[in-house]
Amino acid sequence: MADLETTLRRLAASFAEEVMAALRDVPIEELIALSEYEQDLGAPRRTPKVARPRRRSAPRPAPPAPERTIEPAGPAPVTEAEIEAADRVFAERGSRGATPAQLQEALAAKGLPARGDVSDVIRLLVEREIIRDAGFRRTTGQGTAPVYVSCR
């Protein structure tokens, strides 16, 4: 393969030398006449490219401002009833513990208003040392979730 590449390079170099030598021997008048002759035969004319000024499109109208909505300041504060009910859930489940989703289901079953996220309830229970992270994860339908167990 290296021999083929070497041969091709040598042939290309010698061809380029021959072309340059032939062009040096031709008078400039003949080259000009040849180019005019080709233009007369219908060869496409090459015109130099001229930079054209860019057309600016009309400015785009600004998008309408979004309507301002007042978001609630934060999640509703955790009530003592929720804390007591959650404590009972963890006490009932014992060493099995519960995931946040299981706690949410148990609180809803006990008739407490459905909270979108029980992380505040769990955070308060951990801070008060009522529950702790069991140190393992339980597989759910959407990945894994931490399991919390009662400290009592």
32-61: average pLDDT: 67
Structural domain boundaries in the chain: 2-40, 80-150
Pick the CATH number of 80-150 from 3.30.1360.120, 1.10.10.10, 4.10.80.40, 3.90.1170.50: 1.10.10.10
pTM, full prediction: 0.48
First vs last C-alpha separation in the chain: 80
Question: CB–CB of 115/74 below 8 Å?
Answer: no
79-99: average pLDDT: 88
User: When comparing pLDDT for 108 and 72, which is higher?
Assistant: 108
Buried b (16+ CB within 10 A) or exposed e, 98-109: bbbebbbebbee
